[in-house]
């Protein structure tokens, strides 16, 4: 899961970013509304944590611009504004949740998990191809009768493949979705994780699902499926 964190207080940004990464999320960080807008226009985020009072473009304006562009990523507002009127304005602007500073980090993480669950429930719960089935709520992965254990990054890679099956994905696209914006694209980490995933979901099975596209990237496809 990829999260954008927008917070202009450096110490708080650093702490939240660290806690999110400890939970296994891929995190991009922005210190003002213009930088955040550039991220949002370039990357599809699973969740955005957005401070309202940020420089250049404030959080309310940024969110309104997002919704006008039909960008539906769930947004959790962080703010020191705690009146009922402030909350109403925030939610009416298109926010999905609202958390007042100071806050408990455990509560922040719980609210993020809730938003991510809600987003998942609005999408397909069971993803499948050939005899591979993935439950996106429980994260149970099975191929045939075999239960497959995956790490968080391997699972994120598999779900990304399944949601984009029969489509060539470049290493750059994979890296942007699974890792953060500052990922070093000359790294072989994408190849490494594809190899890890292949060992678990392909090596012991006749019908291979992950296919390398020379000079392009990877194609997740059931070769037995009729076009």
What is the full per-residue pLDDT of the chain (227 aa) written as tens digits? 789 999 999 999 999 999 998 888 889 999 999 999 999 998 889 899 999 999 999 999 999 999 888 888 899 998 887 677 777 777 777 888 888 888 889 999 998 988 887 766 556 678 999 999 999 878 899 999 999 999 888 998 999 999 889 989 988 888 877 775 555 555 688 899 999 999 999 999 999 999 999 887 999 998 776 54
Tell whether 107 and 13 lie within a shared domain. yes
Domain's final residue, options 70, 101, 121: 121
Q: Are residues 117 and 78 in the same domain?
A: yes
Q: What is the CATH number of the domain that holds 205?
A: 1.10.10.10
What number of other Cβ atoms are within 10 A of residue 6's Cβ? 27
Tell me, yes or no, whether 206 and 136 share the same domain.
yes
16 and 116 together in one domain = yes
* Ramachandran angles phi, psi of 45, nearest 5°: -100, 145
Structural domain tally of the chain? 2
Q: 189-201 and 171-178 helices cross at what angle (nearest 10)?
A: 90
Domain that holds residue 54: 2-121
Instruction: Look at residues 106, 121, 136 and tell me which one is the last residue of a structural domain.
Output: 121
């Amino acid at each position: 899961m990829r999260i954008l964190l927008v917070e202009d207080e450096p110490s708080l940004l650093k702490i939240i970013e660290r806690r999110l990464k400890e939970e296994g999320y891929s995190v991009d960080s922005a210190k003002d509304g213009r930088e955040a807008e550039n991220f949002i226009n370039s990357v599809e985020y699973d969740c955005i944590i957005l401070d309202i009072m940020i420089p250049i473009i404030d959080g309310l304006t940024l969110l309104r611009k997002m919704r006008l562009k039909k960008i539906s990523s769930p947004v959790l507002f962080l703010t020191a504004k705690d009146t009922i009127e402030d909350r109403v304005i925030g939610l009416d602007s298109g926010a999905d949740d609202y958390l007042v500073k100071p806050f408990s980090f455990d509560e922040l993480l719980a609210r993020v998990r809730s938003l991510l669950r809600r987003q998942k429930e609005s999408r397909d719960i069971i993803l499948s191809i050939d005899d591979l089935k993935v439950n996106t709520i429980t994260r149970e992965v099975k191929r045939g009768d075999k239960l497959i254990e995956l790490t968080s990054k391997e699972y994120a890679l598999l779900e990304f493949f399944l949601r984009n099956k029969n489509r060539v994905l470049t290493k750059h696209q994979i890296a942007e979705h699974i890792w953060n914006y500052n990922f070093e694209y000359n790294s072989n980490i994408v190849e490494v994780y594809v190899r890890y995933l292949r060992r678990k979901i392909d090596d012991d099975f006749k019908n291979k699902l992950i296919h390398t596209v020379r000079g392009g990237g990877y194609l997740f496809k059931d070769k037995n499926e009729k076009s």
